[in-house]
């Protein structure tokens, strides 16, 4: 089995998929501040333990069912989480586009902040219409990165 469930709650499923390889965060509903921080930190801890310079992993956010993210969480992502992820080797954030306008706005705000701090980090957002397309692209990018080393 290549997929491990790291967190399974009504608002999210966080998986590690070694076949891709990537962390998949599948948001299903609104997550409050503590829940959101926990889900992101859970995935990041696994990412840090498994993504190595010679075996890069990706990060895939499936936001199709996501709703709004508070401004406080947006700031936490920009000022803390993104920097940690960048320091761990993450350079791209693959995003399956939200079906909900609040989710699309939240991911657009996140993306603006993720590329807007070049002195500290840049996490390039890449958008997809489906989970399958995102997985295929992340697999191809990770395979290419790992082969180049």
pLDDT of 128 higher than 80: yes
Q: Phi, psi (5° rounding) for residue 99?
A: -80, -10
pTM greater than the 0.85 cutoff: yes
The reported pLDDT for the residue numbered 104 is: 78
Mean pLDDT in residue range 123-129: 88
| Pairing of the two strands 58-62 and 3-9 | unpaired
Query: How far apart (Å, rounded) are the C-alpha atoms in residues 35 and 64?
Result: 18
CA Rg value for the chain? 14
Segment among 8-22, 101-115, 118-132 with least mean pLDDT:
101-115
* Domain CATH for 12: 3.30.750.24
Alpha-carbon torsion 60, 36, 40, 109, what sign?
Answer: positive
How many structural domains are present in the chain?
1
Q: Which domain holds residue 40?
A: 3-148
Query: How far apart (Å, rounded) are the C-alpha atoms in residues 18 and 32?
Result: 28
pLDDT of 116 higher than 90: no
| Pairing of the two strands 92-96 and 22-27 | unpaired
The reported pLDDT for the residue numbered 110 is: 74
């Amino acid at each position: 089995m290549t997929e491990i469930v790291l967190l399974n709650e009504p608002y999210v499923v966080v998986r590690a998929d070694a076949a891709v390889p990537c962390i998949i965060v599948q948001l299903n509903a609104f997550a409050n501040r503590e829940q959101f921080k926990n889900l992101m930190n859970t995935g990041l801890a696994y990412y840090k333990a498994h993504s190595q310079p010679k075996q890069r992993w990706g990060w895939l956010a499936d936001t199709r069912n996501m709703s709004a993210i508070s401004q406080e969480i947006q700031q936490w992502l920009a000022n803390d989480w993104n920097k940690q992820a960048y320091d761990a080797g993450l350079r791209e954030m693959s995003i399956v586009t939200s079906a909900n306008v609040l989710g699309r706005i939240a991911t657009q705000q996140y993306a603006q902040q993720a590329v807007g701090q070049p002195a500290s980090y840049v996490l390039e957002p890449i958008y997809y219409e489906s989970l399958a397309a995102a997985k295929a692209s992340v697999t191809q990018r990770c395979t290419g990165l790992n082969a180049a080393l």
